[in-house]
């Protein structure tokens, strides 16, 4: 993160608080609407080195996917899509952060279904708060649009009238609260 973010985050580890964080996604359905879902189990940390250089790592339990429809969730977890039995986790490891106006771009390597690709998340730093007796907390919002086919999720379900049941572009949004570790 740039100087303004790094100076706001004290040196050390800031662990993602899954109780106060979320990882959500949306994908086009039948060309006209969107299916939305979330991942309920994930972890991560921001580590700020003595020189102020941050690094970010995160892991998502892909089988914690929830779209609100058990049948659809089962299909999405199957080999047709995520193949969670073979690839139970997705991960992210940062490679750098740069300023982008008032916000930031968080670059890193994202691994999903055994495929690792560089991605860039749009990142908003929401600041640091003293917390409620358990230590400082920092807040971040981030988003990225991925092509599912880039990660081997290449099922085609064409519609008779053209287009597809499931779109290729998937928007991932993260709302993260990180707790400073003692």
Give the pLDDT score at 157.
64
Closest CA to 174 of 21, 15, 16: 21
pLDDT at 5 over 80: no
**Its pTM surpasses 0.85:** yes
For residue 52 the two structure tokens come to 């102020």
Looking at per-residue confidence, does 116 or 53 come out higher? 116
Give the C-alpha separation, 1 to 51, whole Å.
12
User: pLDDT tens digit string along 19-31?
Assistant: 999 999 988 666 6
- The pairs formed by 100-104 with CB atoms below 8 angstroms and a separation of 24 or more are 104/1, 104/2, 104/5
> Which domains occur in the chain, in start order?
3-180 (2.40.128.110)
């Amino acid at each position: 993160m740039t100087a303004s973010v790094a100076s706001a985050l004290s040196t050390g580890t800031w662990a993602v608080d899954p109780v106060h964080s979320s990882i959500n996604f949306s994908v086009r359905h039948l060309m006209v609407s969107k299916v939305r879902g979330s991942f309920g189990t994930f972890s991560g940390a921001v580590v700020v080195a003595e020189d102020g250089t941050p690094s970010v790592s995160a892991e998502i339990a892909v089988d914690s996917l929830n779209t609100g429809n058990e049948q659809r969730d089962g299909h999405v977890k199957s080999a047709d899509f995520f193949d969670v039995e073979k690839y139970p986790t997705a991960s992210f490891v940062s490679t750098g952060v740069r300023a982008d106006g008032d916000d930031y771009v968080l670059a890193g390597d994202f691994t999903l279904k055994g495929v690792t690709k560089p991605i860039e998340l749009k990142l908003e730093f929401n600041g640091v708060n003293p917390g409620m007796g358990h230590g400082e907390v920092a807040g971040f919002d981030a988003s990225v649009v991925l092509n599912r086919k880039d990660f081997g999720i290449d099922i085609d379900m064409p519609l008779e009238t053209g287009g597809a049941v499931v779109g290729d572009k998937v928007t991932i949004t993260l709302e993260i609260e990180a707790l400073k570790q003692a």
